[in-house]
Amino acid sequence: MTAPGPRRERRVNLRGLRRRASGRFPIVGGVVTAAVVVLVAAGALLLIAVVVLARRAVGRAADLRLVGARLGANHPKGRVDPATIVAALDRRAAESAQQGRDVERLREALDAAALGVLVTDGAGGVILANRAALPYLSGRPGEAVVEGRVSEAIAAALGEGQALSRELELYTPRRRVVHLEVVPLDDSAGERLGAVAYIADVTEERRVEAMRRDFVANVGHELKTPLGAMAVLAETLSGGVDDPEVAARLAARLQAEAGRLSRLLDDMLDLSQAESAASPGLPVALAAVVAEVAGPAREAAARAGVNLMVEEIPHEAVVAGDERQLRTMLGNLLDNAVKYSDPQPGRPPPRVWVRARAQADGVVLEVQDEGIGIPESHLGRIFERFYRVDRGRSRATGGTGLGLSIVRHVALNHGGDVGVESRLGEGSLFRVRLPRWREP
């Protein structure tokens, strides 16, 4: 019965001790109270932070759902799948990179085109120009004319909504022809986006067209002359000629016109083959070509009162080409030299030389005469088809006006060139340079 007493007394004493301690040390109680306040404030701040973070998380989730919706990566039930969004972003990055490569490929393709391309906005300002179009934006004298015409055409196309096509002739140091085409650009709704201008230098095409027209006209004229003469001669002979001497002269004239017509047709065929043929690149010794051509040419030169001098051709003079074309080229050069050598009574016969020499990277073939020479004003055109310095003399000698044109084409076919030096009254020197044959 005595045990419980002390326990109750111990509890009472403990409470007393607390009261006494609290009375004796008031600071300790204040600290406890402050700590409680601090804890409460910290809890409040934590709660506020949780609320803010929660709201931000909700906002981030909404943003992710919006991004996922635009990327097409949301879960069917509306949940956000970050991994799917990352995969969609990767796909979009790959697509963007591919589009960049496509744009660069398109730009390179435009720059590689020979046709100038200008793209403008709706106000006519240039937003894209390929490499071929840049010269027309440089402001140089010749191109400035084109630039002004392009601006005018673009403004007209944007205003009228119709494509325009024009051809401009520029008289710069050399005549040029530029074709311009402008097309307005509209979107599917009909709104004007801008315009595109295509600029092409068609000088060479127009020159070829003019040459073709001239060639057809010249061929018709050249054929008409001998055919007309043959028709008249044949009609005269068919009407009956009592005088045998007159009949013989008419027959000889008829034969001469027929020969002239035949030579013209042969030269036209040779020119056509020379223009279309390519050199096969076989080794051809010029010594053999000269020997084969010089025989008949020496006989023709002797009949015309001209001495043909053939110098020794070095065995190193071997070119890559076609032997038949080379024979035709040399034959035309010799025929031209003999015809224009012009022997004079009481004077030594004029001479014609044929020579060749080998160089480090080519072979030079020369035909020189002591003839009447060529006026300097004609030197730039003597290689044109049907061009004659003296038409009356050419008809008297039976020339067709195609020989030197054939020479030029054969030289070009073989990767070479031909030039001429001449002094009026002293003679001419034709020099053909051809690449040497190299062992493959």
pLDDT computed for residue 104 by the predictor: 80
Residues 419-429, buried b or exposed e (16+ Cβ, 10 A)?
A: ebebeeeebbe
pLDDT computed for residue 142 by the predictor: 59
Spatial separation of the C-alpha atoms in residues 117 and 132, rounded to whole Å:
7
Which residue has 């043909």 as its token pair? 308
pLDDT computed for residue 210 by the predictor: 80
| Residue 168 φ/ψ, nearest 5 degrees | -110, 140
pLDDT computed for residue 380 by the predictor: 81
pLDDT computed for residue 434 by the predictor: 92
CA distances from 367 to 35, 279, 290, 330, 409 (A): 122, 22, 11, 8, 17
Spatial separation of the C-alpha atoms in residues 283 and 273, rounded to whole Å:
20
pLDDT digits (tens, 9 = 90+) for 171-192: 766 778 888 899 998 888 888 8
Answer whether 158's CB lies under 8 Å from 141's CB. Answer: no
pLDDT computed for residue 64 by the predictor: 61
Answer whether 232's CB lies under 8 Å from 205's CB. Answer: no
Of 361, 375, 352, whose CA–CA distance to 318 is shortest?
Answer: 361
pLDDT computed for residue 367 by the predictor: 94
Q: 365 Cβ partners below 8 Å, 6+ apart?
A: 286, 317, 330, 354, 355, 356, 431, 432, 434
pLDDT computed for residue 431 by the predictor: 94
pLDDT tens for the chain, 440 residues long, are 444 544 444 444 545 545 554 555 455 556 667 776 777 777 777 777 766 666 666 666 666 666 666 655 555 555 556 666 667 677 777 878 888 787 788 778 878 888 888 888 888 888 888 888 888 776 666 567 777 888 888 888 888 888 888 888 877 667 788 888 999 988 888 888 888 989 888 888 888 788 777 777 777 777 777 788 888 888 887 777 777 888 888 888 888 888 878 777 777 777 776 666 666 678 899 999 999 998 888 888 898 899 999 999 998 899 988 888 899 899 999 988 998 888 888 788 899 999 999 888 889 999 999 888 888 888 888 888 777 666 555 555 556 678 888 889 889 888 899 999 988 888 899 999 999 887 76
Kindly report whether the global pTM for this prediction surpasses the value 0.85: no
Tokens of 114: 């020979």
Domains of the chain: 1-112 (no CATH), 113-201 (3.30.450.20), 279-440 (3.30.565.10)
Answer whether 164's CB lies under 8 Å from 156's CB. Answer: yes
pLDDT computed for residue 12 by the predictor: 47
Amino acid 292 reads E
pLDDT digits (tens, 9 = 90+) for 193-211: 888 989 888 888 888 788 7
Burial of 103 (0-12, 13-18, 19+ CB in 10 A): exposed
Burial of 439 (0-12, 13-18, 19+ CB in 10 A): exposed
Alpha carbon 80 to chain centroid, angstroms: 56
DSSP string for 365-416: EEEEE-SS---GGGTTTTTSTT--S-HHHHHHHT--S-HHHHHHHHHHHTT-
